[in-house]
Amino acid sequence: MSTPSSSARVGPDEDRHPHHLLKPSSYQHFQAITPTTTSKMGIPIASYGANPEVGIAIRDGLAPEYEIVHVSLNLAAALVELPKLASGDTSVVTERGTNSVGDKQVPVAIIFAGSLPADEVAQVKAAVAAKAPSAKLIQVTKDDVLATGATAPDPALIAKLYKEKLNEALA
């Protein structure tokens, strides 16, 4: 599938992609962070974050060990979609009415962007925990990044920290 130009409208393949609130001009960024069909996928995880560009870098840094099979980019979507997915419901339908899970993979963990407001993260974590208590809920915070000695966000470092936390949580 080709990536539409920033001025192109979303094509007929739009229903294969989980995020339903991106404008067509942002579609190319979203398409880059959605799952691809490969012969060997990593451990399936989902993510909630508001920045598609950072999501792309994190996704790339997590591969090949982890595969992001679902992305929520706003609170409303995360509250509806992530608890269902984490509980094994692969028939999740986005607000736009499309199925959202790549290759019907159930995520074993959900990663949260460090830039999300604490109250949003708490709401989503509570909603997921109510439906899927065994789901691993992981966030790399600004404090985690600073504790490494870094002075600014670095997607490669953030991906490394997510991998460490995922590996520990899933051990």
How many alpha carbons fall within 13 Å on the CB side of residue 63? 16
pLDDT in tens, 138-160: 999 999 999 999 998 899 999 99
Q: Which of 93, 141, 132 is nearest to 114 (CA)?
A: 141
Q: Measure the CA angle with vertex 77, ends 116 and 82; round to 5°.
A: 85
What lies within 8 Å, CB to CB, of 144 at 6+ separation is 114, 161
- Per-residue pLDDT at 153: 87
Confirm whether 113 is domain-assigned.
yes
Domain that holds residue 152: 43-88+103-170
pLDDT in tens, 54-89: 889 999 999 999 999 888 999 999 999 999 999 998
pTM score, two decimals? 0.75
Q: Which residues pair with 44 in a beta bridge?
A: 67
pLDDT band with cut points at 50, 70 and 90 for residue 104: low
pLDDT at 32 over 60: no
User: Burial code of 135-158, b = ≥16 C-beta within 10 A, e = fewer?
Assistant: bbbbbbbeebbeeeeeeeeebebb
Confirm whether 6 is domain-assigned.
no
- Per-residue pLDDT at 93: 62
Confirm whether 18 is domain-assigned.
no
Q: Measure the CA angle with vertex 96, ends 90 and 98; round to 5°.
A: 35
Confirm whether 77 is domain-assigned.
yes
Structure tokens at 123: 């709401």
Domain count, the chain: 1
User: Burial code of 76-86, b = ≥16 C-beta within 10 A, e = fewer?
Assistant: ebbbbbbbbbb
The CATH number that applies at residue 131 is 3.40.50.2300
Confirm whether 35 is domain-assigned.
no
Confirm whether 164 is domain-assigned.
yes
pLDDT in tens, 105-129: 899 999 999 999 999 999 999 999 9
Return d(Cα 115, Cα 46) in angstroms, integer. Answer: 16
Confirm whether 162 is domain-assigned.
yes
Confirm whether 4 is domain-assigned.
no
pLDDT at 167 over 80: yes
pLDDT at 103 over 50: yes
pLDDT band with cut points at 50, 70 and 90 for residue 17: very low
